[in-house]
Amino acid sequence: MTTDATAPWLIVGLGNPGPEYAANRHNVGFMVADLLAERVGGRFKRAQKAQAQVVEGRIGPPGPANRRVVLAKPMSYMNLSGGPVTALRDFYKVPTANIVAIHDELDIDYATLRLKLGGGDNGHNGLKSMTKAMGPDYHRLRFGIGRPPGRMQVADFVLKDFSSTERKELDYLVDRAADAVECLVTEGLERAQSAYNS
């Protein structure tokens, strides 16, 4: 699927708003979006047309690979992410193929990243809401968090902070995830997959 080189990209970090959720596994999308905002030299501010915070900027070297991006953090709860994302897509006139959702993924081991285009939601409420609102044909950066230990419920696991062991690697992984998004936007999916899918 080719993307329009002049159209902006909408990069959505999925998470829940509020300080009590900030360090949860479910909020790793927000963590990556925050780092990308830092890299483009912007600060998140309230979007006028959607229940979200946004930063506008550019990613990539000067020249044809330089891309206009809108970084977004929906300020609805995770299971209502589709509404804000659709409003931003329409406002900024972003093709669905230029949307990237950054999210936690239970079925991938911790410290593993996977990029893909389209597919199912795998029970992830943020993806479920986005797909219901606009179909499945957007990019995903899946940030592996692994499965809950023992009999812990999935909902409890994703709403817990990363463990002290996981936190040792977390900054590096968030940094790598931000690199993967930049590579996807500037060099395309295949190149980003071969460099970052593990």
Considering the candidates 26, 103, 124, 139, report the single residue annotated as catalytic.
26
Distance CA(101)–CA(93), nearest Å, equals 17
What is Dmax (Cα atoms) for the chain? Answer: 52
Rg (CA), the chain: 15
103 is catalytic: no
Nearest to 9 by CA among 43, 61, 57, 74: 57
Distance CA(146)–CA(110), nearest Å, equals 5
Nearest to 136 by CA among 84, 99, 93, 178: 99
Distance CA(184)–CA(131), nearest Å, equals 20
What are the catalytic residues?
Answer: 26
